[in-house]
Amino acid sequence: MALKKTLTIAGSDTSGGAGIQADLKTFQEHGTYGMTAITVIATMDPDNNWNHGVYTLPIDVLKEQLKTALSVGVDALKTGMLSTEDVIRTAGEGIRESGTSHVVIDPVMVCKGEDEVLNPGVVDAMIEHLLPVAEVITPNLLEAGFLSGLGPVKTIDDMKKSAEKLHELGAKYVVIKGGKRLQHEKAADLYFDGDKFLLLETEKVDTTYNHGAGCTFAAAITANLANGLGVEEAVLEAKKFVAAAIVHGWQLNEFVGPVLHGAKNEFGVPDVTVKEI
Ligand code: PXL
């Protein structure tokens, strides 16, 4: 059987809920064949409040991985945590040279709970190397604010302005994840295709067990694109997938609760409403 092939260029989350671990689990749940190019290894310190260590792999090791995976050929790929300008440039060049058209850029700049941007130079590098190859970009509010240069994004109106800017910068489709910081009564994400805005809403879930939600959402979009869905449908289905995963988030230890990547297939999906705004 020929499976659709998906690739994640991202960091390893040793705790298993986010990063390439989230991506592979999500690819698998969508029946695609997942491959990886690992950029960094993230560790968490149980003796220091689960503080993250981020260890960037040598750039040649990333290049070898990209050569391996892209020589196979992929139906869709995503990026996640790219920790340095060098890593971003290498990923961007690899993607461009591969000619892959289904490219989902998840511009990870901070891990949940930590508000330091990985490294300030990454913003400009993402604009230069990743936005132009992005079929879909999936920033959270913070990342959308940095990339669009518009500063803090807090409202649906701010999200719309930021989405327009990211589209101008080259991303064909923009999906801004509302998350907890959004001033809105529902959990809402904004979709912009350069023409129309859609608001995707679910009921807010009162949980802190949502580690890996962003990676899982972007990975589900990637797998849906690989499976031949159009972008709008790929995003809507991915929103259902991640909403279910958040509803069934669970406690891994005293520090972290990951989403349940397989929740949609096991338990079904919560309601997602879509309206043009
Ligand atoms: O959730 C963002 C994220 C992405 N990638 C890796 C991570 C994290 C957060 O912990 O560790 C590797």
Here the tokens at position 166 are 């990211």
Residue whose CA is closest, atom 6 of ligand 1? 19
Ligand 1 pocket residue status of 137, Cβ below 6 Å: no
Structure tokens at 110: 């901070």
> What is the chain's length?
277
Q: 3-state DSSP call for residue 112?
A: coil
Specify the pTM: 0.97
**Mutation test residue for ligand 1: of 78, 81, 83, 109, the one with most atoms within 8 Å of CB:** 81
Centre of ligand 1 from the C-alpha of residue 220, in Å: 16
- pLDDT, residue 180, reads 80
Closest C-alpha residue for ligand 1 atom 10:
111
Strand runs (DSSP E) across 63-115, as ranges?
76-79, 103-105
* Lookup: tokens for 117: 């941007």
Strand bridging mode 187-192 / 173-177 = antiparallel
- CA–CA dist 12, 5 (Å, integer): 19
Residue 71 is inside which H or E element, if any?
Answer: helix 59-72
DSSP assignment of 141-172 = HHHHHHHHT-----SHHHHHHHHHHHHHTT-S
Any ligand 1 atom below 6 A from CB of 131: no
Please, how many CA atoms are within 13 Å of residue 169, restricted to the half-sphere of its CB? 24
How far is Cα 260 from Cα 246, in angstroms, rounded to an integer? Answer: 7
Report how far ligand 1's centroid is from the alpha carbon of 55 (Å): 12
106 in ligand 1 pocket by Cβ < 6 Å? Answer: no
State how far the Cα of 271 lies from the Cα of 87, in Å rounded to an integer: 38
Query: 81 CB less than 6 Å from ligand 1?
Result: yes
How far apart (Å, rounded) are the C-alpha atoms in residues 19 and 166? 23
For 9, phi then psi, to 5°, come to -110, 100
The pLDDT of residue 74 is 98
Q: What is the pLDDT along the chain (277 residues), one digit of tens a residue?
A: 789 999 999 999 999 999 999 999 999 999 999 999 999 999 999 999 999 999 999 999 999 999 999 999 999 999 999 999 999 999 999 999 999 999 999 999 876 545 556 577 899 999 999 999 999 999 999 999 999 999 889 999 999 999 999 999 999 999 999 988 899 999 999 999 999 999 999 999 999 999 999 999 999 999 999 999 999 999 999 999 999 999 999 999 999 999 999 999 999 999 999 999 9
Q: How far is the CA of 19 from the centre of ligand 1 (A)?
A: 5
| Angstrom distance (rounded) from CA 273 to CA 236 | 9
**Is 215 touching ligand 1 by the criterion CB < 6 Å?**
yes
CA angle 157, 270, 171 (to 5 degrees): 40
| Index of the ligand 1 atom closest to the CA of residue 212 | 1
Instruction: Judge if the beta carbon of residue 22 lies within 6 A of ligand 1.
Output: no
Measured by CA distance, the residue closest to atom 4 of ligand 1 is 19
Q: Which residues pair with 201 in a beta bridge?
A: 188, 273
State whether the beta carbon of 107 lies less than 6 angstroms from ligand 1: no
d(CA 84, CA 238): 28
Residue 40 alpha carbon to ligand 1 centre in Å = 10
